[in-house]
Structure 1
């Protein structure tokens, strides 16, 4: 499985559908998530990925719980995702989750998530 497909599959294992940030459908319905696809290889070190969770709700607890669930899936030591030629090691970035406010529509709740990825692959 390519790196791109491996990340897509991992993000979509949860209950909220995820899309690459560059290809969110026009008719998407909240809740949903996005992630940045940044590719690297073994000798490049860690790279930062961002994910975003979007909800339409009056509750802050619902998006907070979704961010916590993503944190649990990554775990304290990170999680490795198998892909062609090796693995992608995802770890929680710092800060892990931040709230983003939309002044024009306070019912939209967004969580900006920092993730670190280390590509343990040859290419």
Structure 2
């Protein structure tokens, strides 16, 4: 095996902690593993899991710097979630008030996918396995 084993987690800095926490926990269904408030930094840190696997650290900071978040902006392009049935997940997200783009077909794999955004505009993808 090489020097790196796998991705350990993804860190996301949000602008409104309660809105983002609701989005990731109540709308997307992540499970809270740990939540701490760091007084010296005036910052929350929320550890989240999908299907029992630690995946995301959600942070809040006072006045975080803005950056472009379109899928074609330089830097991290998007965060993709594997799903069994993209259409059923789209229906569930839409029912929760989360807008999704039209379904696309990956030209190389033939797999179906779409994009939506978190409360701060971070591009998120649903990719059918």
TM value normalised by structure 1: 0.33
Greater per-residue helix proportion = 1
Based on CA coordinates, which of the two structures has the bigger radius of gyration? 2
Greater per-residue strand proportion = 1
| Larger RCO (CA within 8 A; separation ≥ 6) | 1
